Chain A
């Protein structure tokens, strides 16, 4: 078994996890253990959080996607996976490094955002928003412009220190659909598909990836620009900002089932006291995206011609 790095955790896994960097830190005991085994049909006395997830005692979580795997996640440190046997290993890992990863964060008192994040200079920006809006493609464009990836899809906010909120970098990989790959001139050959039949690929982004926590400088909530002629980035404050932020935690229904809405609200207030939140309208065009990327680089002091 190989040990891996995920956030600042030492992860021991029975499953190969090529997305993660190998552990090269100290000789501590593993922080998280992932094993293959049997997962029960249901958790006793559990609260359902939607059709796929149950939350039981001590916030133990059960996730099942019937054609992929069952996952049992407990104590922020143990994951048991029972693959469905369809042989789609990439999919097993995909949900592990997405929803299950977020469950571990919640169990550890961290605050995962549904966001991609990049480091520009000494600080991080997080780009939150619905699936398909363009978070990963925008992050990839920023990386092309000189930013360093800290996370794609699940960006972990750590509020445990007395200083301002930080992002704990997750793992150096982006998931991009073929259209985005083509636009960025990245070849798909040799890249792993995230799910067998899909034109969505895992793109390594390990250049300059560092695992130290990075101060969070801004949160951008992406939304569709619609027909707006002059769509500008605008700062959002007070109740609107709290609403935007809480809606973009990974995931509100899970938070409620784990009894963490109160904590999440407190966390949102603490984050917003130190970090500005903006709404960023994004038109569905790669040109618009390139323009936004350049603007973000300039705003955060990383501006140089692409």
Chain B
């Protein structure tokens, strides 16, 4: 399977965990190193990745110019590939102003889309972003939300349209121009070996039970927490004191008020039920 495989999810849904496990798998089940230099460019909106194709400074391009050029960049990247490459992405699967998909089928081998109960996402993402849970609930309902929007400074990623949590999920599951594998964070917690085996099969990766076991062991939550404590982790936001924080499904019960729960279920109930989350 050559081309780009998008490891896609709304933030805080387990895509980093999956990415680390897949990297371990591709190294025969080896321990993970959190800050390998090659990892940093492996996200779809990374400025350096896009500039390596464009040859111009993206910080002087308008948001709409960047968005129109991203499909061309991904096509150029895919053309150079002899095998597949994984690119992590939190963008919703949107279309550019000219009506074409941001993630073109011609450049794509497929996508693995990971979902997580939005009640747990709200808690985790609020912590990561350093904002109150109510503000995060509002953000998750906001169709117009743009991450890394260019205001008085730029970040290492170009602006990304997230849409709302529900619209984000629906946009990726609606993809009919590439194969999409859906994984649920809660299933990964329950039986990561099985979910990792599904991902490996989807990617056409040979993975013996030993290799899978190695990748599962290398990415156990306590192992990742310890690694972060000793070497740091580039994905930790400046607003959070840790990236690998808690991760327990259903932890929202201890952190959300009944009013907050009701709001999330009001905003996202249809998609939650579609995915099998009880409301």
Number of A-B contacts (CB under 8 A): 111
Q: In the complex, A229→B155 CA distance in Å?
A: 21
Which residues in B have their C-beta under 8 angstroms from that of A38?
none
Q: In the complex, A49→B65 CA distance in Å?
A: 18
Q: In the complex, A283→B73 CA distance in Å?
A: 28
Q: Which of B48, B52, B56, B234 contacts A98, CB < 8 Å? A: B56
Q: Which of B55, B62, B231, B233 contacts A49, CB < 8 Å? A: B55
Q: Is the CB of A95 within 8 A of B56?
A: yes
Q: In the assembled complex, how far is the CB of residue A267 from the closest CB belonging to chain B, in whole angstroms?
A: 19
Q: In the complex, A218→B48 CA distance in Å?
A: 23
Q: In the complex, A276→B51 CA distance in Å?
A: 26
Against A, the Cβ 8 Å flags (1 = close, 0 = not) of B57-70 are 11111100100010
Against A, the Cβ 8 Å flags (1 = close, 0 = not) of B230-255 are 01111110100001000000000000
Q: Is the CB of A130 within 8 A of B233?
A: no
Q: Which of B55, B60, B234 contacts A52, CB < 8 Å? A: B55
Q: Which of B53, B59, B69, B235 contacts A132, CB < 8 Å? A: B59
Q: Which of B47, B59, B61, B232 contacts A65, CB < 8 Å? A: B61
Q: In the complex, A66→B54 CA distance in Å?
A: 13
Which residues in B have their C-beta under 8 angstroms from that of A130?
47-48, 51, 156
B278 contacts the other chain (Cβ, under 8 Å)? no
Q: Is the CB of A94 within 8 A of B60?
A: yes
Q: In the complex, A133→B234 CA distance in Å?
A: 13
The segment from B21-29, B146-154, B166-174, B179-187 found at the interface with A is B146-154
Which residues in A have their C-beta under 8 angstroms from that of B279?
none
The segment from A13-21, A26-34, A119-127, A220-228 found at the interface with B is A220-228
Q: Which of A225, A251, A284 contacts B55, CB < 8 Å? A: A251
Q: Is the CB of A51 within 8 A of B150?
A: no
Q: Is the CB of B56 within 8 A of A99?
A: yes
Against B, the Cβ 8 Å flags (1 = close, 0 = not) of A83-118 are 000000001001100110000000000000000000
Which residues in B have their C-beta under 8 angstroms from that of A91?
60
The segment from A143-151, A173-181, A294-302 found at the interface with B is A173-181
Which residues in B have their C-beta under 8 angstroms from that of A53?
55
Q: Is the CB of A224 within 8 A of B234?
A: yes
B145 contacts the other chain (Cβ, under 8 Å)? no
In chain A, positions 252-306 with a C-beta closer than 8 Å to chain B are: 252-254, 283-285
Which residues in B have their C-beta under 8 angstroms from that of A284?
238
Q: In the complex, A225→B35 CA distance in Å?
A: 10
* Nearest opposing residue in chain A for B59, CB measure: A131
Q: Is the CB of B236 within 8 A of A227?
A: yes
Q: Which of A194, A223, A285 contacts B60, CB < 8 Å? A: A194
The segment from A2-10, A195-203, A209-217 found at the interface with B is A195-203
Give the 7 A-B CB pairs with smallest separation, nearest first: A227-B232, A226-B234, A51-B72, A178-B152, A130-B48, A179-B153, A228-B232
Q: List 17 A-B contacts (CB under 8 A).
A: A49-B55, A50-B53, A51-B53, A51-B69, A52-B56, A52-B69, A94-B60, A98-B56, A132-B154, A182-B152, A195-B60, A195-B62, A228-B35, A251-B55, A252-B52, A253-B55, A283-B238
